[in-house]
Structure 1
Amino acid sequence: MSTADSIRPGRLSGKVAFITGAGAGIGAATAARFIEEGAEVAAVDLNPPAPTDHLLPLQADMRDQASLDAAVEATIEHYGRIDILFANAGVLLPETQAEDLDEATWNTVIDIDLSGVWRTAKAVFPALKQNPNGSSVILASSTAGIRGGANSSAYTAAKTALVGLAKVWATELGAFGGRVNTTHPTAVGTDLVLNDDNLRRYRPDLEHPTPEDVIEPFKRGKLLDTPWIDPIDVANAVLFLASDEARYITGTNLVIDAGSTTKWG
């Protein structure tokens, strides 16, 4: 059994993190940032990354409780405990107005973005409650979890529900020294956002819009001069909430949005 007893310096020195959706984008950036700051990382994904120093790749499907339970068991066997959960896995699918939204899209988004987070909590929380040093849980919400937008019923429902769950779970874990918070990024420059289907929402006049084609419409939604933020911007915010620097922060929402919710709130 490998353990986290080999301490490296950093803001997460000696900590063990369980990150879902760690195969790419925000999850991968956060895993790398955590490792830079001294953590050991269980990187969980439907398509997990290659193993590296201080990173344990694990396959799991957010729709399958057994696979999440197995990933937690493998993490405990390898590292001995879990200190941090970043529930990051999610999907962003093309949606229409509510009356035209098909049930398959609704069910898929809710099953992964909301129920998948609940299944992750079911798998991880027993381990967190046994941690004598407390824990930190970060749920990946969105600016959609603060303000709604057209053609996003399922996504907004899921991300808004995570805000409520964070408050419930902060109460439930608080007695065990656990903290629970949410992050709310604006559009992030990943394949989840910068893909054909999503870009056509902003440039329906183009059959295959590129990121360059949507820079101006993306910028219009923000106070700061950027069309989208980078995965590292979210990773740094998650790092703060995971670290002891945020040791008395729980049940709160950290917005990383270049001012978009202020502009449109």
Structure 2
Amino acid sequence: MTGALDGKVAIITGAGSGIGRASAIRFAAEGAKVVLGDMAASVHDTAAMIGGAATAVQMDAGDETDVAAIVAKALELYGHIDIAFANAGISGGMEGIFDNTIENFTSVLRVNLIGPWLMVKHAGKVMADAGNGGSIILTASVAGIRSGAGGPPYSASKAGVINLAKVTAQQLSGTNVRCNAICPGLTETGMTKPTFDYAKEKGVTDKIGRLNPLRRGAQPEELANVALFLASDQASYVNGQAIAVDGGLSSSHPVTRQLTGQTAV
């Protein structure tokens, strides 16, 4: 039985935990060779979970030299790249507009927005020049769709990622390289661990994700399934899109209550 990514080579950043780790495991299970990047040493643990199909590289997703190096590593190992998943990101905290610093704002934009652009610049060019098509996937967020799901620098960076996916899709016209963004809602990852840990400690895990219609948070594997779809040929006509994977959170304007058969107030 063949996998959805048999013969494919994928680069995944932010692969030390969360969505990146779940996607690496999922991609490899579907036949891909995966080159995994993360600043944390846990990226080596992810590679060990997968085995011979995985190579780990400790790197800074917002540094051009490091991004160029992981692309070069993939080419050195396998000779081609089919999938680039720019997933690495940082939260930057929840301080308000007036309380943020230029250092924090710049740091978040460097990793969350410049990082995906660097992956487009280096891996995207390799795929475009090769002429065999490919898939670029960028991790955005529901925070990039509208206010209320993250701090100012995080939200601004993720809005930029959504637009970057659309611009990239257009700029790569004629190459058969697709570019799409995934917009996760609240997902249990390393970045959101304090929120989930606090809820567990207080015995209020039932309140996590209660604002979305499914009334729960997501698990990384649920986002990995969407990434797999976008990486595969099953998404061959999906391009320039920002796909919300948020339990329905972004489907509504704020309401205090919404029940079937009743008017929201």
TM-score by length of 1: 0.87
Match of 2:212 in 1: 222
Alignment of 1:44-63 (within 5 A): 44-47=37-40, 48-50=43-45, 51=47, 52-63=51-62
Q: Which structure 2 segments of 5+ residues have no match?
A: 255-265
Verify: 1:243 aligned to 2:232, yes or no.
Answer: yes
Q: Distance in 2 between matches of 1:264 and 1:11?
A: 37
Residue from 208, 223, 234 that aligns with 1:234: 223
Equivalent residues of 2:92, 2:153 under 8 A apart = no
Cα deviation, residue 120, structure 1: 2.0
Q: Distance in 1 between matches of 2:206 and 2:96?
A: 24
Q: Distance in 2 between matches of 1:237 and 1:187?
A: 15
Verify: 1:259 aligned to 2:248, yes or no.
Answer: yes
Q: Distance in 2 between matches of 1:118 and 1:132?
A: 20
Q: 1:234 to 1:165 in 2, by over 3 A?
A: same
Residue from 21, 27, 32 that aligns with 2:25: 32
Alignment of 1:111-122 (within 5 A): 111-122=110-121
Cα shift readout 1:66-117 (whole Å, capped 9, x = no counterpart): 1111111111010111000110000012121101112222111111101111
Counterpart residue type for residue 124 of structure 1? A
Alignment of 1:77-156 (within 5 A): 77-149=76-148, 152-156=151-155
Q: Distance in 1 between matches of 2:75 and 2:209?
A: 44
Cα deviation, residue 217, structure 1: 4.2
Cα deviation, residue 212, structure 1: 5.1
Aligned length: 247
Cα shift readout 1:213-250 (whole Å, capped 9, x = no counterpart): 35354333111131x10000000000001111110110
Q: Distance in 1 between matches of 2:39 and 2:130?
A: 27
Counterpart residue type for residue 49 of structure 1? H
Q: 1:212 to 1:237 in 2, by over 3 A?
A: farther
SS of match in other structure, 1:155? helix
SS of match in other structure, 2:2? coil
SS of match in other structure, 2:252? helix
Q: Distance in 2 between matches of 1:126 and 1:241?
A: 19
Alignment of 1:163-242 (within 5 A): 163-195=162-194, 209-211=198-200, 213=202, 215-226=205-216, 228-242=217-231
Following TM superposition, where does structure 1 have runs of at least 4 consecutive aligned residues deviating by more than 6 angstroms? none
Equivalent residues of 1:59, 1:71 under 8 A apart = no
Q: 1:211 to 1:242 in 2, by over 3 A?
A: same
Cα shift readout 1:37-92 (whole Å, capped 9, x = no counterpart): 11110111113324422001112212321111111111101011100011000001
Match of 1:11 in 2: 4
Q: 1:123 to 1:147 in 2, by over 3 A?
A: same
Q: Which structure 1 segments of 5+ residues have no match?
A: 1-7, 200-207
Q: 1:101 to 1:118 in 2, by over 3 A?
A: same
Counterpart residue type for residue 258 of structure 1? G
CA RMSD of aligned residues (A): 1.8
Match of 2:257 in 1: none
For structure 1, which segment, 230-239 or 91-100, has the greater mean C-alpha deviation from structure 2 after superposition? Answer: 91-100
Q: Distance in 2 between matches of 1:83 and 1:62?
A: 19
Q: Distance in 2 between matches of 1:232 and 1:14?
A: 22
